[in-house]
Amino acid sequence: MKSNPPSSRTGQEHILLTMSFGSALAILPFAVTRLFNHDWFVGLIDSMMIVGMLMIGSYVAWSRDVRNAGLMLSIVSLGGMCAVVYIKGITLIYWAYPTMVGMYFVISPRLAMIFCLVASLILVPVLVSAMELVQSIAVIMTLIVNNLFAYIFANRMHKQSEELASLVLTDPLTNIGNRRAFNEKINDVMAIVKRSQNSMSVIVVDVDFFKQINDNYGHAAGDRVLIKLVSTISLRIRETDSCYRIGGEEFLVLATNANIEGAKNIADDLRKEIETSSWIENKTITASFGVAELMENETANAWIERADKALYKAKKNGRNRVCLAESS
């Protein structure tokens, strides 16, 4: 089994990168014009926003941390918008609408609603002082309605996206992540190891003689074995570990903060639990394991390939055993 190469960017990363660098580019003409006209204070605010946007975009590109980047982008965008409106007056209030709508694309709908309502409250004094009461109420209400509609749309899209992701990334039989889920997870794993320098290992699990189980007891019995196997693995691995069905009777466990010896202990524990459990008509079921620790500067494909070779070695040497991958 080989892993597909990690995708270059997730959809949320693309959104954050586009909004960060795009906003910086959009603000640049205003900053240049204001500085050229000696409007130093607002020009400085524009320049600070540009720098902030560029830093956030660079942070996303380097760390792929969309959660914190989204929060930072929201604070910089809403804070800068409110500051400009206070300084230049309500003639720039129209910037509040696209700025607030944009927040629903970079952070969760609920958090975006909170941030935008706080920004609306901050704008109330300048609206009331610069406009007639009826007009200021009208602007405030349109801001609220604007956020209400944006929240409804974003919340609905967020839920539909989660449902779709669940269908696409979940194995329908065992309700754990499938091969696609693993291929997406591997991006985060590689980034975490690169930043933290912690150990990370992979355990490939394959049920021994599974075809015989299907042939002798039927596919329904084979499905029950796989479901119980996933339950067994889930109960024995640590909360920080994750399990995926790669295909057929083959599974993969990502063991975080585990070197080769720690992962071997996890695999040995699983092997013994599987061998001693009751399965079909008291038939003994066994599994073989291949274990590999991620090495420095190793690609995902090379990492998984070493684990596959270790699994093949376990099968070749009699099955129902754990074999460790050789260092590349």
Residues with a known catalytic role: 249
Nearest to 200 by CA among 216, 184, 187, 219: 187
Cα separation of the two ends of the chain: 17
Instruction: Tell me whether strands 287-293 and 200-207 are parallel, antiparallel or unpaired.
Output: antiparallel
Give residues with Cβ within 8 angstroms of 97, minimum separation 6. Answer: 142, 143, 146
Sheet strands side by side (includes 242-247)? 242-247, 250-256, 200-207, 287-293, 322-324
* Packed helices 179-196 and 133-169: angle between N→C axes, nearest 10 degrees: 110
CA distances from 44 to 47, 48, 53 (A): 5, 6, 14
Helix (H, G, I), strand (E, B) or coil at 243: strand
Give residues with Cβ within 8 angstroms of 167, minimum separation 6. Answer: none
Quote the tokens at residue 294: 């991620």
Pair 298, 328: CB distance under 8 Å: yes
